[in-house]
Amino acid sequence: MRRGVTISTEARTRAGQRLPSRAGRLADAIHRTTFVTATVVFAFGMVAVQLVRLAATGAPAVQSNMSSPIATSLARPDIVDRNGRLLASDVEAPSLYADPLLISDRDEVVEKLRAVLPDLDSAALRDALADKTRRFVWVRRGLSPQMAQRVHDLGLPGLAFRNELRRAYPGGRLAGHVLGGVNIDNRAIAGIERHLDESNLVEPIVHAAPSTRRPVVLSLDLGVQHALEDELAAAMETYRASATAGLVLDVRTGEVLASAALPGVDPAIATDALVDERIDRINGGTFELGSIFKLMTVAEALDAGRVGPGTMVDVTEPLKSGRFVIEDPHPAGRPLTVSEVFLKSSNVGAARLALGGGPTRQRAFLDSLGLLAPMRTEAAALARPMLPARWEEIETITIAYGHGLAVAPLQFAAAAAALVNGGEYIQPTFLKRTGEAPRRRVIRAETSAELRELMARNVAEGGGTGKRADAEGYAVGGKTGTAEIATRGKYDRNAVISSFLGAFPISDPRFLTLVMVFEPARTAASGGEVTASQTAAPVTARLVRRIAPQLGVWPAPIQP
């Protein structure tokens, strides 16, 4: 019996070792709970610390973009004219895309889309939708709201829209060459729009977020621009011309108030600028300008002091230089004064004036007027001047009356402005100037006054070639130019560029105009002629009558 008691005691001892007391079990539970709680608190603490660090460093939010790529575009500031009228602005427009993985019947999708978008490239879209590894395919960007609604009403799965910024031009083709345009990603391709890109005035964006920058203010006056384009269009039709071009320039500030070349371009249609016939002839082309260049020739001779307005020039015989013979279309048959050389537009007289100074003096004078070096404005880099390979006697003669040297019309207009504004050259600009324009003297003020007198007489006097540019009451002065166009190495007497360079009020000019009519036909309206006096001069008169009141120039009272 004692033995049994002993065995029972050992069993109880082993059982005590395997089964802890109630207090021991409670202590173990507390330890485990404390460990788990500490682990959880530590983990949440680490998350909190990371969140605070991210907030403090301003790290960008992580975005998940499963169905479309991040398409970077540009937000562009508004463009306005000098009076704050809108010329260009960004607007939101829906763009259509597809997710090929969600499209079960691509033929149905393409067929129905073609009913709404007839110019859709069906084959290319079918190929793109066949690739199920792609999750994003552009179908058409920049839809109008009406077109987007029609596509939406098709109810096709796998199609969706995203808003993008699109450039809008409220004036349509108005000032199209100056504004330039943008591509499908709102990036500039030409004109002032390119100036915005080059000047870092645009902002990269992901979503359709309009720019918050202040509008870019141009020197253009929308009313003057419209009048210029309207008159150029009428001239193109009246004289059956292949093209027309013109500009209006403030001679005191160098600001371009209007600039146009027709046929024009629509800045909303990027391919327009690729058509040769739609070239910007004011900035992008160079031309031999004919007799309006005689303004430069007479200015050089007067400013050098070699002649005065009354100095006699022998034009009784044609001028010979090597195998070339230069003669006047309508010979005077007698010597002419320097004033008459200008008024009667004598080629022989201009040539003799240029030869008096020689090639070196002629070249230096034209260079001082900025006519021989490349020029750039905010709207464009102008076409480079085309200089003669040699500059000797015959080149001096032909350049004297506007052949043998080709320049961009704006470059010539800037030089001419210096001759009439008192003798100071001012770099032209397409941006509104808020301060004093930089300037440099190129001729004496007395020479400028003499030139203005000649330009005034050329319009006011019956014998002047610019008589038809007279806009009653506005005191216009100017010079005609009819330049034959060289084709296949020969000049064509029937293919000409007729130009008129004008300034008003000519006694103290504020504005300069240049009107160019390319290849006018011999019509009843021009009296069967193609000369500038019959074509470009009348256009100038009509233009001045329209724009002068807009520019604050009122007609002088009619004298009894």
Which residues are annotated as catalytic? 291
3-state class percentages of the chain: helix first, strand second, coil last, to nearest 5: 40, 20, 40
Take residue 266 and report the two structure tokens written for it. Answer: 């629509």
Cα end-to-end span (Å), the chain: 162
What is the biggest distance separating any 2 CA atoms in the chain, rounded to whole angstroms?
169
CA dihedral sign, ordered 267, 272, 277, 280: positive
| Alpha-carbon torsion angle 439, 441, 442, 448, nearest 10 | 100
Q: How far is CA 187 from the centre of its chain?
A: 13
Retrieve residue 390's tokens: 């040699």
**14's tokens:** 């082993």
* DSSP reduced 3-state for 41: helix
What the block records as the tokens of 446 is 């007395």
Closest CA relative to residue 87, chosen from 190, 204, 213, 176: 176
Tell me the C-alpha distance between 459 and 449, whole Å.
16
Residues in the chain: 560
Token pair listed for 319: 């001028």
Under a CB-based contact definition with an 8 Å cutoff, are residues 533 and 480 in contact? yes
Q: Which runs of consecutive H residues, i.e. helices, occur in 309-444? A: 338-343, 347-368, 393-400, 409-420
- Check if the beta carbon of residue 537 is closer than 8 Å to that of residue 500: yes
Element (DSSP H or E) covering residue 226 = helix 222-238
CA distance 226 to 170: 13
- Residue bearing tokens 């009439």: 420
CB atoms near residue 219 (< 10 Å): 24
